[in-house]
Amino acid sequence: MMHPSFLASVIGRLDLSLMTQAPDALLVTAVSLAQDAAVAEAGGAELVGAWVGVESDDERLATHLFEAHLPGYTAWRWAVTIARTIDVTTLDAVTICDVVLLPGPEALRAPDWIPYEQRVQPGDLGVGDILPTHADDPRLVPGYAVLPADEELDLTQLWELGLGRVRLLSPEGRDAAATRWYAADRGPGAEIAINAPLPCASCGFFLPIAGSLRSAFGVCSNEFAPDDARVVSVDHGCGAHSQALVVE
């Protein structure tokens, strides 16, 4: 039987912030038992540090916490869950339920998992890489569901030789692309566009694109322009405008 003064000292060391209810007095005294279980699980006494506290999990269920001295597990803890049966008041009846590693408040942990579609950035796709799309991707719709008024290409060309595309760009996908292009470096807000003599819409090298975005975007065909072969907005611009003539 533990001396009352020892029991009082253990209770006084409890981290009350870890406790959800009043701890079972017998389980609180089982520090050595819990520590031995942690050492057995860790494989060496040097891997188990000082006692941190105890959590009261239930009326006769508690978890003792010890510092973990494991490489790569900074500020983690050994958590030893113990229990006792009803009306038993000796440590001989205390049972080890589980021994696991748990992160402490300042523990070093792996970052939260982020799905690949949220991690992939423009430019990440390389040779041989595959970037799958979901079957319900809102940017795409089934080809058979597209109305002629929504399609960007001539339907005769689209279904030539029966090789039509299974999925086509949805209105939501077009809006997202237009918003992204317009806000990018080849929109009107770019510094080179602000200082350009005239907008792309009046440039002879400007090739309007087909479809519903024709009135807002085109492709630059000037090999000396910084945006050659890229989509630019009609109100973008640069110093390679076709009307920037040499004065004789």
pLDDT tens sequence for the chain (248 residues): 334 343 334 334 444 334 445 667 888 888 999 999 999 999 999 999 999 999 888 888 899 999 999 988 889 999 999 998 776 666 677 889 999 999 998 887 778 888 877 888 878 878 887 777 888 888 888 876 665 555 454 555 455 444 567 788 888 999 999 999 999 999 999 999 999 999 999 999 999 998 889 899 999 999 999 999 999 999 999 999 998 876 66
Residue 193 lies in a domain: yes
Give the whole-angstrom CA distance, residue 206 versus residue 147. Answer: 29
Residue 35 lies in a domain: yes
Q: What is the pLDDT of residue 49?
A: 94
- Which residue, 54, 52, 76, is CA-closest to 66? 52
Residue 125 lies in a domain: no
Q: Are residues 89 and 9 in the same domain?
A: yes
Q: Does residue 205 contact residue 240 with C-beta atoms inside 8 Å?
A: yes
Q: Are residues 82 and 28 in the same domain?
A: yes
Q: Does residue 79 contact residue 102 with C-beta atoms inside 8 Å?
A: yes
Q: Are residues 88 and 171 in the same domain?
A: no
What is the number of structural domains in the chain? Answer: 2
Residue 132 lies in a domain: no
Q: Are residues 91 and 20 in the same domain?
A: yes
- Which residue, 56, 112, 110, 45, is CA-closest to 78? 45
Give the whole-angstrom CA distance, residue 121 versus residue 180. Answer: 14
Residue 244 lies in a domain: no
- Which residue, 64, 52, 51, is CA-closest to 23? 64
Q: Are residues 98 and 150 in the same domain?
A: no
Give the whole-angstrom CA distance, residue 201 versus residue 196. Answer: 12
Q: Are residues 95 and 148 in the same domain?
A: no
Give the whole-angstrom CA distance, residue 146 versus residue 152. Answer: 10
DSSP summary character for residue 81: E
Q: What is the pLDDT of residue 154?
A: 52
Q: Does residue 206 contact residue 217 with C-beta atoms inside 8 Å?
A: no
Q: Are residues 12 and 98 in the same domain?
A: yes
- Which residue, 85, 77, 71, 88, is CA-closest to 55? 77
**Global pTM value:** 0.52
Residue 122 lies in a domain: no
Q: What is the pLDDT of residue 248?
A: 64
Q: Are residues 10 and 99 in the same domain?
A: yes
DSSP summary character for residue 228: B
Beta bridge partners of 53: 65
Residue that finishes a domain, picked among 73, 103, 133: 103
Q: What is the pLDDT of residue 211?
A: 80
Q: Are residues 9 and 67 in the same domain?
A: yes
Which residue segment(s) compose the domain that 68 sits in? 4-103
| Angle in degrees, CA 159, 165, 166, rounded to 5 | 125
Residue 225 lies in a domain: yes
Q: HSE (CB half, 13 Å, CA atoms) of 120?
A: 12
Residue that finishes a domain, picked among 54, 82, 103: 103
Residue 242 lies in a domain: no
Q: Are residues 162 and 96 in the same domain?
A: no
Q: What is the pLDDT of residue 8?
A: 39
Sign (positive or negative) of CA dihedral 131, 135, 141, 143: positive
Residue that finishes a domain, picked among 75, 103, 131: 103
